[in-house]
Amino acid sequence: MNYTEISDAIRYIGVDDDTIDLFESQYVVPEGMAYNSYIILDEKIAVLDTCDKRGSEEWLANLAAALGDRKPDYLVIHHMEPDHAGTLAQFMQKYPGAVLVGNAKTFNMLPNYYDAGTMEKLTVKEGDTLSLGAHTLQFFMAPMVHWPEVMVSFEQTEGVLFAADGFGKFGAIKNETDDWACEARRYYFNICGKYGMQVQALLKKAAKLDIKVICPLHGPVLKENLGYYIGLYDTWSKYEPENKGVLIAVASIHGNTLQAAEYMKEQLEALGEERVSLMEVPRSDVAEIIEDAFRYDRMILMASSYDAGVFLPMEDLLVHLRAKGYQNRKVALVENGSWGPTAAKTMKGYLEGMKNITILDPVVTIKSAVKEADQEALAALAKVVKDA
Ligand code: FEO
């Protein structure tokens, strides 16, 4: 499977980065990251976005190879974030005759990063078109997918949607597999999760276009089965669960709460629950936990008490869930505490501030080790969660 081939006229010129430790200084990317960029070769040449500065040299070489002895006429800036606009300065220096294409917000933001000097700018708005010859780009604003200045463009002749961060994923192209959803889901909920309403607005615009290819700014070019990807984006951005299932997120200090979580998982599976994901919060990638929290319809939070509140890794998870707009889910709580258990009260406090969260009764309180009576209470709660 070729993940970057588009057509003779529309080509991929992006860069793989497999040495980055943390994307955006926060996301582990064991398969690396791709900074996508494209070029349309017609009577006029349009370059679509640049590249993170980590890939500048390679990107400039890719661009030069695609250009041959020609020069670019336009640079379309779909998104100003430095993972895409990070090589703008070098581009402007090398190709001062190109016209920068952006919207009013792009050009408000541009001076925050770069001095564009005397570069010519073309400001586009919703629905505007730019003819390159046989190819025509049409622009659609996509504010807050993922920044305010984001726009997408649609090439009308070949039906190619340049989707900015939309339909992106973690992972370098060279490490790509056919399992798109796993890292695309983790990417979506952590990077765009808060902006479901804005993603819905973009999907409505996209529904009116005859899209044959989706070219995102990260991850593979999507050419087949587009309904599958668009369907997932629709589910995700509506905050609907993708699968029936339970995430058990456990933050245990000395292992007793973890033991309770393992018991809870066994109980749920014995009741016939098919998808039960158990994640140890202090030892897991928080972005991965967020992914599963949004993926499933129910979640069980199990945590030790700590400093009259909740064990801090669990508090950190709750802060992340709140920030990403976690909503429309059913949540059960289990707390542990050797003297005054306080974890449930703190966890409830966070959950009550989120939209449409049902806290399932009862809250189970364990005092230190898991005893027979605790097992009975956990088994009863497992039944409540199974039936919720
Ligand atoms: Fe891939 Fe929002 O930048």
pLDDT of residue 124: 98
* Residue 6 CA to ligand 1 centre (angstroms): 22
User: Residue 367: pLDDT above 80?
Assistant: yes
Q: Are 135 and 188 in contact (CB under 8 A)?
A: no
Domain assignment of residue 2, yes or no: no
Q: Which of 215, 237, 259 is the last residue of a domain?
A: 237
User: Residue 261: pLDDT above 80?
Assistant: yes
CA–CA dist 362, 271 (Å, integer): 18
Structural domain boundaries enclosing 182: 10-237
Cis ω before 362 (30° cut-off from 0): yes
pLDDT per position as a tens digit, 51-91: 999 999 999 999 999 999 999 999 999 999 999 999 999 99
Domain assignment of residue 1, yes or no: no
Q: Which of 237, 270, 302 is the last residue of a domain?
A: 237
Q: How confident is the model at residue 133 (pLDDT cuts 50, 70, 90)?
A: very high
pLDDT of residue 210: 98
Q: Looking at this protein, which amino acid is placed at residue 193? A: G
Q: Looking at this protein, which amino acid is placed at residue 82? A: P
* Residue 169 CA to ligand 1 centre (angstroms): 10
Mean residue pLDDT of the chain comes to: 97
> Rounded to two decimals, what is the model's pTM?
0.96
CA dihedral of residues 35, 41, 47, 48 (deg, nearest 10): -60
Q: Which atom of ligand 1 is nearest to the CA of 218?
A: 1
Domain assignment of residue 5, yes or no: no
User: Residue 1: pLDDT above 80?
Assistant: no
292 and 366 within one domain: yes
Q: Which residue has the tokens 């039906």?
A: 159
Domain assignment of residue 3, yes or no: no
Q: Which atom of ligand 1 is nearest to the CA of 168?
A: 1
* Residue 291 CA to ligand 1 centre (angstroms): 18
pLDDT of residue 339: 94
253 and 228 within one domain: no
332 and 353 within one domain: yes
Name residues contacting ligand 1 (CB within 6 A). 79, 81, 83-84, 146-147, 165, 217-218
Q: Percentage of the chain surpassing pLDDT 70? A: 100
pLDDT per position as a tens digit, 153-196: 999 999 999 999 999 999 999 999 989 999 999 999 999 999 99
* Residue 256 CA to ligand 1 centre (angstroms): 41
- Ramachandran angles phi, psi of 121, nearest 5°: -125, 140
Q: Smallest Cα–Cα separation from 218: which of 6, 51, 45, 106? A: 51
221 and 259 within one domain: no
Q: Are 301 and 246 in contact (CB under 8 A)?
A: no
Atom 3, ligand 1: residue with shortest CA distance: 81
pLDDT of residue 198: 97
CATH code of the domain containing 42: 3.60.15.10
Q: Which atom of ligand 1 is nearest to the CA of 164?
A: 1
Domain count, the chain: 2
Instruction: Report, as an integer, the average pLDDT of 106-134.
Output: 97
CB neighbourhood size of 156 (10 A): 15
CA–CA dist 242, 235 (Å, integer): 7
Q: Are 336 and 301 in contact (CB under 8 A)?
A: no
User: Residue 382: pLDDT above 90?
Assistant: yes
Annotate 49-77 with DSSP letters as a single string: ----GGGHHHHHHHHHHHHTT---SEEE-
Q: Are 221 and 12 in contact (CB under 8 A)?
A: yes
